[in-house]
């Protein structure tokens, strides 16, 4: 397998561009990848998911999506789109509507029809979540969308980790799970090495 250096557009979750999101991006940079981490919250971060979601609603999801899409302006068509939870919205929208090399969705996935159509079959994707995360695993929720995306992709993988935490990859939050996060990082780096 030939290792390549990827360019990644990585969107933060509902609690903002936290130290944990930046640390994850830093791990990818240490491996040699170029990582862009746009701040859709203009410097605001929040202690709880509820506070972050309240801010997102105040700003407006359409505005956040618009700003996320704008963050891709000027980037190469070889970029990998990635997002944590709420950040998965602009990442998935871009993946479905703009050329790219792949998509990484952490703690989230949305029915492809929400963004105007089917998942592009030729676009590789990885989706990572905890198997009992109530935001992801409830019937009719993100897990069904994740399975549909993976089934539609020529190269798609859904990874479910033991536990019930949502933002378990963010080392600055109480939900952090070191063991699961290390697995996510390893699989993410393997994915990027082939992009």
What 3-state class would DSSP assign to 34?
Answer: strand
Residue 3 pLDDT:
59
Q: Which secondary-structure segment (H or E) carries 61?
A: helix 61-70
Residue whose tokens read 């506070």: 51
- Count of Cβ atoms closer than 10 Å to residue 125 Cβ: 26
Residue 132 pLDDT:
95
- Contacting residues for 21 by C-beta, under 8 A, at least 6 apart: 10, 12, 13, 37, 84, 170, 172
Residue 116 pLDDT:
84
Per-residue model confidence as pLDDT tens digits over 37-53? 999 999 999 999 999 99
Percent of the chain predicted with pLDDT > 90: 93
Q: State yes or no: pLDDT of 36 exceeds 80.
A: yes
Q: Name the CATH architecture for the domain at 7-192.
A: 3-Layer(aba) Sandwich (3.40)
- The domains of the chain are located at 7-192
Distance CA 149, CA 111 (A): 8
Q: State yes or no: pLDDT of 1 exceeds 60.
A: no
Percent of the chain predicted with pLDDT > 70: 97
Lowest pLDDT segment from 63-67, 76-80, 113-117, 189-193: 113-117
Q: How far is CA 121 from CA 91, 104, 112, 194, 195, in A?
A: 16, 15, 12, 17, 16
Distance CA 131, CA 127 (A): 12
Q: What is the pTM of this model?
A: 0.95
Per-residue model confidence as pLDDT tens digits over 168-188? 999 999 999 999 999 999 999
Closest CA to 128 of 56, 183, 63, 69: 183
User: Do strands 7-11 and 80-84 pair parallel, antiparallel, or not at all (unpaired)?
Assistant: parallel
Q: In what order do the strands lie in the sheet with 7-11?
A: 34-36, 7-11, 80-84, 102-106, 125-130, 156-161
How does DSSP classify residue 170?
-
Per-residue model confidence as pLDDT tens digits over 11-20? 999 999 999 9
Residue 139 pLDDT:
66
Mean pLDDT estimate for the chain? 95
Per-residue model confidence as pLDDT tens digits over 123-132? 999 999 999 9
Q: How far is CA 83 from CA 3, 55, 68, 108, 182, in A?
A: 22, 18, 10, 8, 17
How does DSSP classify residue 79?
P
Q: What are 132's two structure tokens?
A: 């009992």
What average pLDDT does this structure show over 91-99? 96
Residue 140: which pLDDT band, with cuts at 50, 70 and 90?
low
Q: Are 37 and 23 spatial neighbours (Cβ–Cβ below 8 Å)?
A: no
């Amino acid at each position: 397998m030939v290792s390549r250096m990827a360019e990644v557009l990585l969107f933060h979750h509902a609690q903002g561009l936290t130290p944990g999101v930046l640390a994850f991006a830093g791990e990818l940079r240490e491996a040699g990848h170029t990582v862009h981490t746009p701040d859709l919250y203009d410097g605001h971060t929040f202690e709880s998911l509820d506070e972050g979601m309240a801010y997102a609603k105040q700003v407006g999801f359409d505005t956040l999506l618009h700003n996320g899409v704008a963050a891709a302006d000027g980037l190469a068509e070889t970029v990998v789109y990635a997002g944590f939870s709420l950040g998965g919205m602009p990442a998935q929208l871009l993946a479905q509507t703009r050329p790219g090399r792949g998509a990484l969705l952490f703690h989230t996935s949305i029915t492809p029809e929400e963004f105007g159509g089917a998942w592009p079959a030729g676009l590789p994707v990885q989706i990572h979540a905890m198997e009992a995360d109530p935001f992801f695993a409830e019937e009719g929720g993100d897990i069904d969308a994740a399975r549909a995306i993976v089934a539609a992709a020529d190269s798609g993988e859904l990874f479910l980790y033991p536990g019930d935490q949502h933002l378990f990859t963010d080392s600055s939050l109480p939900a952090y799970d070191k063991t699961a996060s290390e697995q996510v990082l390893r699989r993410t780096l393997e994915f990027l090495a082939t992009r």
